[in-house]
Amino acid sequence: MTKKIVVLPGDGIGPEIMNEASRVLDVVNQSHKLGIEVDTHAFGGASYDIDGKPLTETALAACREADAILMGSIGGPQYDTAPRELRPERGLLRLRSELDLFSNLRPAMLFPELASASSLKSELVAGLDLMILRELTGGIYFGQPRGEETVDGKRMSFNTMVYNEDEIERIARSGFEIARSRNKRLCSVDKANVLEVSELWRAVVIEVSKDYPDIELSHMYVDNAAMQLVREPKQFDVIVTSNLFGDILSDAAAMLTGSIGMLPSASLDKNGKGLYEPVHGSAPDIAGQGVANPLATILSLSMMLRYTLKEAAAADAIDKAVSAVISGGTRCRDIASGQANETVVGTVEMGDAVIAALGNA
């Protein structure tokens, strides 16, 4: 059966890194007989330059129809003066909300050979592979009422942390499904000792767990989770949490790895359809120089194959190829540490190395 994916290269280093991910996709598409069709659209600043808006209706319709979307990166200083509603980020926010992408997946993984890039001791992070699942469209960032008032002559402002049981149930299901495709352990992070909203969160997660008897569920308060992430991050497999807690914990976890050019991410809807993209931005400082690290985008492709297209063998092949390239000492500039066994290469050579490793797999 044919599967359709939309590719959105975007701005800055976006087209350079996407070029390498597309070459890798071509290879696994053939070798694993995936039957994937690719439709490419301008997005972000690139779309604004051509059509005057960051996301055209044509591109949006193509994304709606597709099984999955692979994005490079968007933005750049040249768009800072564009009208706010036409800036590249607005295109991304609209895409996420139009497709109801409520579940944000941020893996924090660290190849053993890159452990020295972390701010933690190597033995604590070498081989780290944890997934943080953050609820993306509810909670305190969207809750009503919100605002500010003057009460008794003093300024006061407020936000509301609110979840209904449906919102919790769908992110919990997403968490259990992800855990099922990994090491079958899910840790739900909340603040149920203080917040009513967390009490409901915990209760609903426990209810949903009845449908997933094969997954080991645990609960942790968010303050403890923050401590545990820096004390012993390898204890976690999948963490599921609310918008605010996930925002903070996922950034902390990403920094454990110390290499932003290596980190993929995804945002999924309730059917598992997803937008996959590297965590990093468009890196205008190095755009056009051929030095950007394409591995975060290549690993985003592998996540897309694993979590949306359910092509685990192709995803495993890509992950193994990247791992072999790193073990062999090939490095883009951002992950080079100056050791004698390293070969520092550019964007295209890194793509070549992954493709060569795929051939040897």
Distance of closest approach, residue 305 Cβ to ligand NAD, in angstroms: 20
Binding mask 115-154 for ligand NAD (x = CB under 6 A): ----------------------------------------
Residue 277 makes contact with ligand NAD by CB under 6 A: yes
Q: Please give the full DSSP string across 258-289, using - where no structure is assigned.
A: --GGG-EEEEE-TTS-EEEEESS---TTTTTT
Distance of closest approach, residue 265 Cβ to ligand NAD, in angstroms: 8
Closest CA to 53 of 94, 86, 92: 86
- Residue 120, phi then psi, degrees to nearest 5: -90, 165
Report the C-alpha gap between 281 and 278 in whole angstroms.
8
Residue 73 makes contact with ligand NAD by CB under 6 A: yes
39 belongs to the catalytic site: no
Residues 18/72, Cβ–Cβ less than 8 Å: yes
Closest CA to 32 of 301, 300, 275: 301
Residue 284 makes contact with ligand NAD by CB under 6 A: yes
Strands 103-109 and 68-73: unpaired
Nearer to ligand NAD, 329 or 346 (CB): 346
Rounded to 10 deg, the angle between the 347-360 and 14-31 helix axes is 10
Three-state DSSP class for residue 217: strand
Residue 264 makes contact with ligand NAD by CB under 6 A: no
Three-state DSSP class for residue 151: strand
Nearer to ligand NAD, 63 or 189 (CB): 63
Binding mask 84-103 for ligand NAD (x = CB under 6 A): -----x--------------
251 belongs to the catalytic site: yes
- Residue 33, phi then psi, degrees to nearest 5: 45, 55
Residue linked to tokens 């808006």: 53
Report the C-alpha gap between 253 and 250 in whole angstroms.
5
Taking contact as CB under 6 A, which single stretch among the options 248-256, 281-289, 309-317, 351-359 is the one that binds ligand NAD?
Answer: 281-289
Residue linked to tokens 């924090």: 108
Report the C-alpha gap between 302 and 287 in whole angstroms.
24
Residue 300 makes contact with ligand NAD by CB under 6 A: no
Q: Which of 163, 247, 276, 307 is catalytic?
A: 247
Nearer to ligand NAD, 69 or 225 (CB): 69
Q: Residue 186 pairs with which residues in a beta bridge?
A: 217, 238
Report the C-alpha gap between 358 and 176 in whole angstroms.
30
Choose which of 86, 286, 324, 336 interacts with ligand NAD (CB under 6 A): 286
Taking contact as CB under 6 A, which single stretch among the options 52-60, 127-135, 136-144, 292-300 is the one that binds ligand NAD?
Answer: 292-300
Distance of closest approach, residue 284 Cβ to ligand NAD, in angstroms: 6
Residue 74 makes contact with ligand NAD by CB under 6 A: yes
Three-state DSSP class for residue 292: coil
Choose which of 281, 299, 326, 330 interacts with ligand NAD (CB under 6 A): 281
Residue 285 makes contact with ligand NAD by CB under 6 A: yes
Choose which of 91, 138, 261, 264 interacts with ligand NAD (CB under 6 A): 261
Choose which of 9, 15, 54, 75 interacts with ligand NAD (CB under 6 A): 75
Q: Which of 67, 191, 237, 307 is catalytic?
A: 191
Size of the site for ligand NAD (CB under 6 A): 21
Distance of closest approach, residue 216 Cβ to ligand NAD, in angstroms: 33
Strands 274-278 and 264-268: antiparallel
Sheet holding 274-278, edge to edge: 36-40, 3-10, 68-73, 274-278, 264-268, 103-109, 129-135, 238-241, 185-190, 216-221
Residue 345 makes contact with ligand NAD by CB under 6 A: no
Distance of closest approach, residue 286 Cβ to ligand NAD, in angstroms: 4
Three-state DSSP class for residue 9: strand
Binding site for ligand NAD (CB under 6 A): 13, 17, 73-76, 89, 260-261, 277, 280-286, 292-293, 296, 334
What residues are labeled active site?
141, 191, 223, 247, 251
